[in-house]
Amino acid sequence: MTAEGARLRVVQGETEAGPGAHGAAVSPHRIRIVDAALDCIARQGTAKTTVDDVAHRAGVSRATVYRVFPGGKDELLGAVAETEMARLFSALGARMGAAEDLSDVLVIGIVEAVTRITRHPALTYLVAHEPDVVLGHLAFDESNRLLGAAARFISPFLIRWMDPEEAARVAEWATRIVLSYCIAPSAEMDLTNPDRARHLIETFVLPGITALRAPDRTQPVDLSSFAGDRAEHADRFQPSQYQTHPTTTTHSKGDVR
Amino acid sequence: MEDTRQRIIEATYACVARWGLAKTTVEDAAREAAVSRATIYRHFPGGRDELVHDVVVWQLLVFFRRLYDEVQGAESLEAVMERGIRFAHRSILEHEVLQRVMETEPETLLPTLTVESNRIRGAVADFLIPYLHQHGLSPGVNPDEAADFLARMVLSYMASPGRWDLDDPTQVSELVRGELLAGVVVGPEPGIGPD
């Protein structure tokens, strides 16, 4: 397989229709084949995985794989990426839809996304063994596409607290945060930890939302409208060694290590 | 000795600019630098991989040296970040070799760039820390944590502006005062320079 072919298309262009979008019935084998491919990638990566491996694992014939994915391995890999993106977004939607304030929705979304991405078995294998398959999506123009797609998905969950334009901006910002801490995890700022994510959101993000909203930016930042009922939801998160309320804690250089 | 090493690096870069990253060989670099293959391997025992890595690192150093020059004398933290982001954005767009490699063979460059991005982030954070102290941090904000966050965000916007038009000074100013500095520093102040 060429390096070119190995670069999966994660984000479908807006003019491209996804599979099944032409009104054709989706094969009942489709998801079984995609999941089998996902298993194969998690064990041996994309380069070594063959259509035969996937057919064997899915318990279908090679011909069935080609009937469902006429483009063969490349189309199958594209479908895997697309399915996993859809699953990520659907899990995010379920969690974020239940949030009760703006701080909550951002914390829940970021923790869910970072946790799912950094613990995704196939993705973890690829990052370790075939980084070029993944990295192409995280830089420059491809990353712009990813940011746009993620922001379009996430912004509807924010419009309870802001207008659509602002929601689109904040959604893109949150996506940048997720990508940065997934690509280069930080020991001090582990965003799979809800307390750390809340600290990051309340320290750096909510004041930025307020600042861009307020016409007079010399006013002090007021967070009360965002974080009002935070205490009620404290039991939703696991306890941690970190402080939840950054404003009552003064970290020195030493104590975050 | 060091002159030869640098000459080889610059010669390799010239080859990459002409033929691309994947097609550049140790022989090409040797011919361009007018040295023998053995000389190249003496300076770069890791061969082609080491050579390519060092070319990328050299280009990054050139970029950061220019960036430091660009923000020297900026009178406030906001000005440092605004100038820095606009300069970085322009430099990336106008870097023909980078643009061509990213368009035609990103897989040859991205692994090195990703590994280097940890060092770049550290360098940007270290650069910002004195400005943060000088400006005054919001209560409870840890300077190292803030600098790391800012470096991550700055690199994100540089590589992928998304919805932001980084050629527009008004938007860059909004970005810096909103998404970057609002939570980090105490309210906007007039200049912190000696005026």
Domains and CATH numbers, chain A: 28-79 (1.10.10.60), 97-214 (no CATH)
Inter-chain touch A217–B117, beta carbons under 8 Å? no
Shortest Cα–Cα distance, B87 to chain A (Å): 16
B36 touching A (Cβ < 8 Å): no
Inter-chain touch B145–A250, beta carbons under 8 Å? no
Q: What pLDDT digit, counting tens, does each position of B68-87 carry?
A: 999 988 888 999 999 999 99
User: Residue B111 — very low, low, confident or very high, per pLDDT cuts 50/70/90?
Assistant: confident
| Residue of higher predicted confidence among B12 and A213 | B12
Contact residues, chain B, for A176 at CB < 8 Å: 153, 156-157, 162
Q: Do B164 and B171 form a contact (C-beta atoms < 8 A)?
A: yes
B73 touching A (Cβ < 8 Å): no
B156 touching A (Cβ < 8 Å): yes
Domain borders along chain B are 76-180
The pLDDT value recorded for residue B113 is: 82
The pLDDT value recorded for residue B193 is: 37
Q: What number is the ipTM of this complex? A: 0.85
Inter-chain touch A249–B140, beta carbons under 8 Å? yes
Amino acid at the residue A139? A
With tokens 């690192």, the residue in question is B57
Shortest Cα–Cα distance, B1 to chain A (Å): 34
Mean pLDDT of chain A: 79
Which candidate from B118, B141, B188 shows the least CB-CB separation from A217?
Answer: B188
Q: How many CB atoms lie within 10 A of CB B47?
A: 12
User: Residue A234 — very low, low, confident or very high, per pLDDT cuts 50/70/90?
Assistant: very low
Q: What share of chain A is helix, strand, coil (3-state, %, to 5)?
A: 65, 0, 35
Contact residues, chain A, for B144 at CB < 8 Å: 188, 253, 256
Q: Note the pTM of the prediction, 2 decimals.
A: 0.79
Cβ-Cβ pairs closer than 8 A, A with B, add up to 133
Residue B171: closest CA among chain A residues belongs to which residue? A212
Mean pLDDT of all residues in B46-73: 91
The pLDDT value recorded for residue A241 is: 32
Give dist(CA A102, CA A185) in Å, integer: 24
Give dist(CA B22, CA B109) in Å, integer: 9
Q: What pLDDT digit, counting tens, does each position of B154-176 carry?
A: 999 998 899 999 999 999 999 99
- CA-atom Rg of chain A in angstroms: 21
Q: What pLDDT digit, counting tens, does each position of A15-46 carry?
A: 344 444 444 577 889 999 999 999 999 999 99
